[in-house]
Amino acid sequence: MRQAIEKLKDIVEAMVADGDLHDLEIEFLKAWLADNPDVSRVWPGSAVSTAIEAVLADGHVSQDERAYLLSTLRQLASGDFADQDNGDELALVFDNAVEINVRDALVCLAGEFLHGTRAACERLLESCGGWPAAAVTQNVRYLVVGAKVPADWKASPLGQTIQATLDLQRAGHAISIVSERRWLDRVAGASATQKI
């Protein structure tokens, strides 16, 4: 599996090297992922696969979709994902041991997601029985942090949302902070078993 993920990273690096993303490259990556379905079920292949599916859903790749996909692939190529084990402060706030079950749970989505737009993430959440929340409150069960985290995340609205969540945790509320990676892996696993 590790070799296949490294191959995916090599393919992505070659695709983004010229700063352009052509339709044939997108189709090639889609076909490669289809030929390697195990990679599509684990991070970061799952994020790339869902991004490509979202971009190709209507059969046409708009300039905005192309720019979004190029940005996502560049982040993969550079290894610039928030929840990698790189020791940054953000990784310390994630509740990596918590069991994720979004069925009938309020879930706040914060930041920018590799999976796609906020609307696409909300649709995925709703398809799994969860309810999107506009902000963290005492009733929210999970804060999911998108993997596209700015370098200055502490001073951003994302940082304020994380701080509000930490304050709720300290006050005794059962709200967990999870990474997009863990959320997507859980959603992908659950959709296979229909237990989310």
pLDDT confidence of residue 84: 42
Question: What does pTM read for this prediction?
Answer: 0.60
Q: Give ranges for CATH 3.40.50.10190 in the chain.
A: 89-193
Range name among 47-51, 77-81, 85-89, 183-187 with the lowest pLDDT average: 85-89
Distance CA 106, CA 155 (A): 25
Topology given in CATH for the domain delimited by 89-193: Rossmann fold (3.40.50)
pLDDT tens digit string along 23-58?
Answer: 999 999 999 999 998 888 776 777 788 788 878 888
Number of Cα atoms under 13 Å in the Cβ half of residue 6: 3
pLDDT tops 50 at residue 87: no
Distance CA 104, CA 139 (A): 11
